[in-house]
């Protein structure tokens, strides 16, 4: 199998990432409300997940302040140290939480983020949501100050609309700083960024899309279609439309095609979905699937061991267009 694990730049920066990184929300240790989404993972498992990700060729990890109020960042740092990884050998992305805060909080809390991730520097610092007390222009201006002070290397945003992303880009562009990325939900079963202007604006301005929930919270693997009993134990997800009976039926044609292609390429369904995601839009999209088991890591890293043909990517595009 060919290895398509070729590094690509994040936006118009010099930050060269593998098309897939590891999302680390699940390292939150149930520390706060955001952490309650996941069971507590023991340190030994976290260390193994990180080590296997590194061995599988992934070179970046995405975490956030809100993931267990720093618990995820600290667990990631410990796991990287346990794996013998030196600062500078991997790339770390984390996020500032804006809700109930002003832009002035960005410089006030950066040392806490640096401390939590120590000894690893913050390569990408992102504004986690567009809902702070200050507007996005003030927030990215505060981020630009951290950039100038060399406390962070690059700047990104998350969950921003096309317009807010453009506003952020304009502020930074005047200062000669690129806006690296916009982290948004994107998968075969959620393609809204292709119709709401976000993808088009990202391509126009040279901003990378970091796709979170790239497997639609597990739905795209087909496991819930094969075994509906699993739907009883999926926590808060069961309240979303995708996981209701009508959602299962609506997604079935896409899942059937994904399964067909998985058999054709001798890979798994999640690997087909991830391969499409990071290749269909050229180099614009990178993805951050999570992992709570060793098998998940192998699925993630194996998604880069082959490449779907253009014809098969078009088939998936056509079948999943209903989710745009």
> Can you give the pLDDT of all 324 residues of the chain as single tens digits?
344 558 999 999 999 999 999 999 888 766 655 555 556 777 899 899 999 999 999 999 999 999 988 999 999 999 999 999 999 999 999 999 999 999 999 999 999 999 999 999 999 999 999 999 999 999 999 999 999 999 999 999 999 999 999 999 999 999 999 999 999 999 999 999 999 999 999 999 999 999 999 999 889 999 988 988 888 877 667 778 888 888 889 999 999 999 999 999 999 999 999 999 999 999 999 999 998 889 999 999 999 999 999 999 999 999 999 999
In a domain, 319, yes or no: no
Taking the C-alpha atoms of residue 263 and residue 261, their distance in angstroms, rounded to an integer, is: 5
Residue 156 exposure: Cα atoms within 13 Å on the Cβ side: 32
In a domain, 55, yes or no: yes
In a domain, 267, yes or no: no
The tokens describing 43, both together, are 């340190």
Q: Global pTM?
A: 0.95
How many structural domains is the chain composed of?
1
In a domain, 41, yes or no: yes
In a domain, 148, yes or no: yes
Q: What pLDDT is stored for residue 109 in this prediction?
A: 98
Taking the C-alpha atoms of residue 21 and residue 218, their distance in angstroms, rounded to an integer, is: 17
The tokens describing 13, both together, are 């920066």
Which of 212, 242, 233 shows the shortest CA–CA distance to 67?
212
Antiparallel, parallel or unpaired: β 208-212 and 179-185: parallel
Q: Which domain holds residue 149?
A: 8-215+275-308
CATH number for the domain spanning 164: value is 3.20.20.100
In a domain, 73, yes or no: yes
β-bridge mates for residue 184, sequence order: 211
Q: What pLDDT is stored for residue 26 in this prediction?
A: 85
Which of 98, 197, 111 shows the shortest CA–CA distance to 138?
98
Q: What pLDDT is stored for residue 33 in this prediction?
A: 58
> 278 Cβ partners below 8 Å, 6+ apart?
19, 20, 211, 285, 286, 287, 303, 304
Q: What pLDDT is stored for residue 2 in this prediction?
A: 46
Cα dihedral value 111, 112, 114, 117, nearest 10: 170
Taking the C-alpha atoms of residue 299 and residue 272, their distance in angstroms, rounded to an integer, is: 10
Asked if 97 and 64 count as a contact pair (C-beta separation under 8 A), the reply is: yes
In a domain, 317, yes or no: no
In a domain, 86, yes or no: yes
């Amino acid at each position: 199998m060919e290895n398509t694990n070729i590094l690509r730049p994040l936006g118009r920066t010099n930050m060269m990432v593998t098309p897939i990184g590891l999302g680390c929300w699940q390292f939150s240790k149930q520390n706060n409300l955001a952490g309650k989404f996941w069971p507590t993972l023991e340190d030994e498992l976290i260390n193994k997940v990180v080590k296997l990700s590194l061995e599988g060729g992934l070179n970046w990890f995405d975490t956030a302040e809100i993931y267990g109020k720093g618990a995820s960042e600290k667990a990631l740092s410990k796991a990287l140290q346990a794996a013998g990884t030196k600062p500078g050998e991997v790339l770390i992305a984390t996020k500032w939480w804006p809700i109930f805060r002003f832009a002035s909080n960005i410089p006030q809390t950066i040392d806490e983020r640096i401390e939590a991730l120590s000894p690893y520097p913050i390569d990408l610092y992102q504004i986690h949501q567009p809902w702070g007390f200050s507007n996005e222009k003030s927030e990215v201006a505060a981020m630009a100050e951290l950039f100038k002070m060399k406390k962070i290397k690059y700047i990104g945003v998350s969950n921003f609309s096309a317009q807010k992303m453009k506003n952020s880009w304009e502020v930074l562009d005047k200062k000669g700083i690129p806006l690296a990325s916009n982290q948004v939900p994107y998968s075969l079963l959620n393609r809204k960024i292709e119709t709401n202007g976000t993808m088009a604006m990202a391509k126009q301005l040279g901003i990378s899309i970091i796709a979170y929930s790239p497997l639609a919270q597990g739905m795209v693997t087909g496991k819930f279609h094969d075994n509906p009993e699993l739907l009883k134990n999926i926590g808060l997800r069961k309240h979303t439309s995708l996981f209701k009976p009508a959602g299962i039926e609506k997604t079935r044609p896409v899942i059937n095609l994904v399964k067909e292609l998985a058999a054709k390429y001798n890979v798994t369904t999640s690997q087909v979905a991830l391969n499409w995601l990071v290749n269909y839009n050229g180099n614009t999209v990178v993805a951050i699937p999570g992992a709570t088991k060793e098998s998940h890591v192998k699925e993630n890293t194996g998604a880069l061991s082959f490449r779907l043909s253009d014809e098969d990517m078009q088939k998936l595009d056509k079948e999943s267009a209903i989710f745009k």
